[in-house]
Structure 1
Amino acid sequence: MSDSPVQGIKTVLHPVSDLAKAKAVYAALLGVPPTADSSYYVGFEVGGQHIGLVPDGGQQGMTSPVAYWHVLDIEAKIAELTAAGAAVKEAPHDVGGGRLVASVTDPDGNVLGLLQDS
């Protein structure tokens, strides 16, 4: 295993307006059924990546897909990023099972998602 505190992009979330229609399209694209399927989130596991569909993502401030960089220490990475000029968009919070997510924006407003598994 690498000593890097960043494990790469393993999760990409897509805001969708119609979850049922989006689920059908992504299932056809990926060739697998969802591994998480609820009224508030649909997720697929394929090729070592997690592809998630977030209904009404625009209401959560998602205006485009967000790639989530998996990190070992989310607080330390946010401190490092803000010291380098990024701004916190979404503070770290638990989304279940000890998984923490957060996001920052780079100086051009691009959203960088961060994810730390417990």
Structure 2
Amino acid sequence: MFRGFATISFYADDLAAARDWYAELLGQEAYFAFPAAPAPPAYIEFRVGDDADELGFIDRKYAPPGAANAPGGAVMHWHVDDLQATFDRLLALGAKEYESITKRSEDFVTASVVDPFGNVLGIMHNPHYLEIVEARQSR
């Protein structure tokens, strides 16, 4: 059955621009590209966060027929420690607000943006995520 988040893949018309934008956002370079240089990549990937989750970008020309180009659908939220600062940084880097900072309950707060490549990027302060990380570290 489901064992955990493995990879989230976004599409981009300009893979080099997506690679550079996310490298700036994440403070790290993509660790993988296929095919390897000097050929232009069709796919790039970053490892992100406590579990080195895979954030991949696929050249949009490889999207399945009928794939939507407009933002929408499911939103995958990344836990962040400072939601407001992260939201502000995303906007400063050129992302557009998709959903403003929204308090879902006393402890859970979300927001989302559309990156410059048309993908919805969700962020969240999630105490449950922090509990899982803490429990793993105390084993």
Question: Under TM normalisation by the shorter chain, which class is it?
Answer: 0.3 to 0.5
Give the TM-score taking structure 2 as reference length: 0.40
Q: Select the structure of larger CA radius of gyration.
A: 2
- The higher-RCO structure (CA 8 Å, 6+ apart) is 1
